[in-house]
């Protein structure tokens, strides 16, 4: 994506949630006497090309049960250790200790924990909301290539947060464990007035079911001026296309990076199934607001199995 391309200002943002597979069993409303289980949530990123850092500040989470019970969690300073953050169900009595994450550091299979084995009533839950900070200076901001900093405007972000609307189960006596893929390639936009907007596109994956696709790219496919990336589409035999909000949009993308003289990529947190992978040298030209005629090569169908990295080279 070329985030330095001018776009019209958007008055609202859309959240796109991919399939979130139920973890375990249990059909209570998240507030009955059916026992309890634990929920873990981490966040990763499908990288963008035209920025050095993208910082997002999270102040907590909300979790909505199917029966109406809502759990609000806050990030607070640990009263026993000011250098640590705790998760609290009550508003902070110690100073607020939000998590400010550089999402660009969380690609290629890396992730940061947002919630770790938190106990909840067992049952069905219908959405998770990430609470974000945007009102202050340098809470959520972008550092573009060259080092210039710009505030990130998240329309309605302070009021509504970043909401994932697909349901899941917390099993009695068990655990549910998910990864949120925050796809910056689809999410960051520069308006005609020079403001940077974040219109978040989030994908939620069940960590019990996920695997990865990784491999190398021949150096001959990475000439000067190339911005290399691997696009991953759900299903086999898909004709590769750019990111434009219409099928077939990629499930995720993976940056291609030079590592010890070899170009490598890794697309992680993919739920088991068949995918089409394709390579492009024009990732920087992919503007999610328009239909770009990107050139792809080496399209192939790849199968992903849970807890397995499938190797595919270009």
Q: Are the C-beta atoms of 4 and 50 separated by less than 8 Å?
A: yes
Length of the chain equals 314
Structure tokens at 91: 């508003």
Q: Mind listing the domains of the chain with CATH numbers?
A: 6-208 (no CATH), 211-311 (2.60.40)
Asked if 125 contacts 66 with a C-beta cutoff of 8 angstroms, the reply is: yes
Q: How far apart are CA 212 and CA 208, in angstroms?
A: 13
Report pTM: 0.83
Bridge partners (DSSP) of residue 254 are 230
- For residues 202 and 15, the answer to whether their CB atoms sit within 8 Å is yes
Q: How many CB atoms lie within 10 A of CB 125?
A: 25
Digitized pLDDT (tens) for each residue of the chain, 314 residues in all: 444 333 333 333 333 333 333 333 334 455 444 799 999 999 999 888 878 999 999 999 999 999 999 999 999 999 999 999 999 999 999 999 999 999 999 999 999 999 999 999 999 999 999 999 877 778 899 999 899 999 988 876 545 668 898 889 999 999 999 999 998 888 888 777 888 888 888 888 999 999 999 999 999 999 999 999 999 999 999 999 999 888 889 999 999 999 999 999 999 999 999 999 999 999 998 888 778 889 999 999 999 999 999 999 99
| Chain position carrying tokens 């086999």 | 236
Q: Which of 13, 8, 288, 287 is nearest to 134 (CA)?
A: 13
Strand partners, 190: 6, 196
CA proximity to 271, closest of 64, 105, 42, 22: 22
Task: Check: CB of residue 57 under 8 Å from CB of residue 99.
Answer: yes
Q: Which residue has the tokens 């947002």?
A: 114
Return the residue matching tokens 């989030």: 202
Tokens of 63: 């979790």
Closest alpha carbon to 129 in 185, 64, 193, 67: 64
Alpha carbons 125 and 138: distance in angstroms, whole number: 33
φ/ψ bin of 144: left (φ > 0), alpha (ψ from -120 to 50), beta (otherwise)? beta
Round to the nearest angstrom and report the end-to-end CA distance of the chain.
Answer: 21
If phi > 0 it is left, if psi is from -120 to 50 it is alpha, else beta; for residue 244 that is: alpha
């Amino acid at each position: 994506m070329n985030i330095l391309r001018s776009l019209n200002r958007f008055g609202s943002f859309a959240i796109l949630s991919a399939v979130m597979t139920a973890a375990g069993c249990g059909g209570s409303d998240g507030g009955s006497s059916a026992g309890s289980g634990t929920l873990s949530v981490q966040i990763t990123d499908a990288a963008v090309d035209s920025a050095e850092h993208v910082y997002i500040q999270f102040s907590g989470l909300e979790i909505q049960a199917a029966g109406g019970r809502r759990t609000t969690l806050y990030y607070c300073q640990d009263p026993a250790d000011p250098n640590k953050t705790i998760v609290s169900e009550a508003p902070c009595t110690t100073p607020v200790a939000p998590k400010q994450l550089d999402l660009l550091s969380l690609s290629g299979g890396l992730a940061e924990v947002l919630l770790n084995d938190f106990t909840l009533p067992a049952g069905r839950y219908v959405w998770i909301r990430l609470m974000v900070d945007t009102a202050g200076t340098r809470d959520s901001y972008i550092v573009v290539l060259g080092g210039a900093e710009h505030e990130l405007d998240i329309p309605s972000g302070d009021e509504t947060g970043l909401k994932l609307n697909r349901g899941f189960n917390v099993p009695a006596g068990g655990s549910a464990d998910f990864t949120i893929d925050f796809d910056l390639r689809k999410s960051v936009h520069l308006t005609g007035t020079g403001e940077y907007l974040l219109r978040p596109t989030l994908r939620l994956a069940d960590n019990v079911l996920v695997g990865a696709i990784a491999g190398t790219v021949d150096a001959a496919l990475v000439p000067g001026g190339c911005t290399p990336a691997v696009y991953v589409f759900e299903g086999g035999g898909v004709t590769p296309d750019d990111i434009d909000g219409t099928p077939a949009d990629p499930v995720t993308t993976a940056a291609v990076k030079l590592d010890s003289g070899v170009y490598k990529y890794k697309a992680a947190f993919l739920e088991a199934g068949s995918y089409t992978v394709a390579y492009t040298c024009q990732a920087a030209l992919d503007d999610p607001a328009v239909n770009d005629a990107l050139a792809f090569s080496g399209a192939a169908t790849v199968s992903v199995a849970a807890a397995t990295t499938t190797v595919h080279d270009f």
